[in-house]
Amino acid sequence: MLLYNRAEEASSKHWTLSRMFRNLLIVFMFVYITSIYTAQKDVYKYKPIYPHWKKKQPAFACGVTVQNDPIIKVNNLKTFMVGSYIEHRKEVKMIRTITIMFRSENAEYHCLLCCNGLNVSVPATRDIHSDHFGFEYGTAYVTCKVPETCTKPTHVAITSRSPEEDGSLQDIQAFQPVRNQEEKKDFPYDFTVCISVMYDYDNVLELVQAMEMFKILGVQKVAIYKTNCTSDTQKVLDYYVRQNFVEIIPWNLTPHNITVSRGWKKSDSPGELHYFGQIPALNDCVYRYMYQSRYVALQNLEELILPMKSKNWPELLPELERQYGQMGSFEFENHYFPLSIKDSSAKYSPDSWKKVRGVNILEHITRISNDPNQFNNIKVIVNPRLVFKATVHGIFPSINGSVRVDPGIARMYNMRSIPNEIVAKRFQIRDPHLRDYAESLIPVVSKVLEEALGDY
């Protein structure tokens, strides 16, 4: 009896305990699942690590091939699509396609949209940029309104009417994804550099130095519009692409029968499009990074925008905004450091770099004075959301405008060959500011050369 009672007591105790345990478990599981859900929601909401278009695109949209990269020819016209983006800053939702266009060609443009699996054709207007430098081809925007019935315009192609009697719309070669679907307020990057255009590039040492200087200055992404380069350059690019630091945008105009000029003056550098197509590439970069980067710098690889008082761009930009306000663009004055004037000391020219092709920027610490009577080159750091059109040296009037930054706060260091007769006419000024970064720069450059080039 006693035994039974004990057993009964024990079993009832056991029962109570297990019920308590079960209830606790339920509460625990509830809290756990809720917390996972909230955490994931936070991840989706605040950390858009991969922009939407990096998810694998379907190869077809509305039954037509999708091509992610530039360039897509518009049938029947000398117009080439570079990139398409939703424009959120106008009263109505629009799609803007950046194109390279034969300027004298006149056509009736349309956007063919792929909306929820259905083709929708809407009329489009064109706007040729004024900075074509007299070349036959120039940058143009082709813009159309998104019809209200089209809730998700995922892809677009530009079409025109056939000149033949029936006036029907021409067929298309491929659809292009429409980027910037969402008007984001948080960006994965603070600073992106746009490099346009890389061609015949073999300056390996300077490329690595530039990339590592960008990192030291606080840049998180570099977009390079690339035509062609040497195999060692390609190894370095591959290295940075693997790191997710560089995005390569293929830039091949030759297959499309556009002969690019190697300069800006048609009489000196023949061709049909200004300087390898630099202007359409820069405009594409501003739109491509509009909702991915807080600021975008439009510059070349041999140019470095250095703060004079602060260390890096995350310190410089707040300083500029305090001083000048929230501008569309900050312009940095160019200063040339001629490659012909060299200061090599063992400290700044490690032996292991000597086998690598290219300029060592740390050896150039003499700048020449600017000519006050001539146009001085500038390059810009922009807030891409305040910009509509970019050009070689700066931007066209934007929301909140542009300001020339006092060179005492920041300026551009430009290492390049300068004709001797120009060097002779200017003052020479010793300016070793770049070497202030040498201690951080030298070891990382050596490391990257070894990792990227291997047994070079």
Residues at the contact surface with ligand NAG, assessed by CB under 6 A: 62-64, 119, 171-172, 199-200, 227-228, 254, 257, 260, 276, 325-326, 386, 399-400
Closest among 280, 270, 283 to 101, alpha carbons compared: 280
- Do the Cβ atoms of 94 and 86 come closer than 8 Å? yes
- Minimum Å gap between C-beta 345 and ligand NAG is 35
- Do the Cβ atoms of 337 and 411 come closer than 8 Å? no
10 Å CB burial of residue 335 (0-12, 13-18, 19+) is buried
The 3-state DSSP class for residue 201 equals strand
- Minimum Å gap between C-beta 221 and ligand NAG is 22
Q: What is the DSSP letter of 56?
A: P
- Minimum Å gap between C-beta 61 and ligand NAG is 9
Q: Closest CB to ligand NAG among 167 and 454? A: 167
- Do the Cβ atoms of 431 and 366 come closer than 8 Å? yes
Rounded-to-integer distance, Cα 297 and Cα 282, Å: 10
Q: Closest CB to ligand NAG among 26 and 118? A: 118
- Minimum Å gap between C-beta 325 and ligand NAG is 3
- Minimum Å gap between C-beta 118 and ligand NAG is 6
Q: Closest CB to ligand NAG among 94 and 157? A: 157
Q: Closest CB to ligand NAG among 318 and 325? A: 325
- Minimum Å gap between C-beta 400 and ligand NAG is 4
Render 136-173 in DSSP notation, one character per residue.
SEEEEEEEEEPPTT-S-EEEEEEEEB-SSTT-PBPP-S
- Minimum Å gap between C-beta 302 and ligand NAG is 18
Rounded-to-integer distance, Cα 452 and Cα 455, Å: 9
- Minimum Å gap between C-beta 72 and ligand NAG is 13
Q: Closest CB to ligand NAG among 162 and 349? A: 162
- Minimum Å gap between C-beta 117 and ligand NAG is 7
Q: Closest CB to ligand NAG among 109 and 336? A: 109
Structure tokens at 104: 């004298």
Pseudo-torsion of CA 352, 357, 359, 363, nearest 10°? Answer: 30
Q: Closest CB to ligand NAG among 115 and 306? A: 115
Cβ count within 10 A of residue 420: 10
Q: Closest CB to ligand NAG among 199 and 264? A: 199
Indicate the residue whose CB is closest to ligand NAG: 325
Q: Closest CB to ligand NAG among 137 and 348? A: 137
- Do the Cβ atoms of 155 and 47 come closer than 8 Å? no
- Do the Cβ atoms of 313 and 330 come closer than 8 Å? no
- Minimum Å gap between C-beta 215 and ligand NAG is 27
- Minimum Å gap between C-beta 433 and ligand NAG is 29
Q: Closest CB to ligand NAG among 276 and 313? A: 276
**428 beta partners:** 368
- Do the Cβ atoms of 328 and 399 come closer than 8 Å? yes
Q: Closest CB to ligand NAG among 301 and 441? A: 301
- Minimum Å gap between C-beta 247 and ligand NAG is 20
Rounded-to-integer distance, Cα 139 and Cα 129, Å: 6
Task: Give the number of C-alpha atoms closer than 13 A to the C-alpha of residue 33, restricted to the C-beta side.
Answer: 5
Please identify which residue in the block is written with the tokens 């278009």. Answer: 53
The 3-state DSSP class for residue 343 equals coil
Rounded-to-integer distance, Cα 153 and Cα 146, Å: 7
Q: Closest CB to ligand NAG among 250 and 419? A: 250
- Do the Cβ atoms of 128 and 101 come closer than 8 Å? yes
Helices 438-453 & 231-242 angle (0-180, nearest 10): 110
Rounded-to-integer distance, Cα 301 and Cα 311, Å: 20
Rounded-to-integer distance, Cα 179 and Cα 196, Å: 20
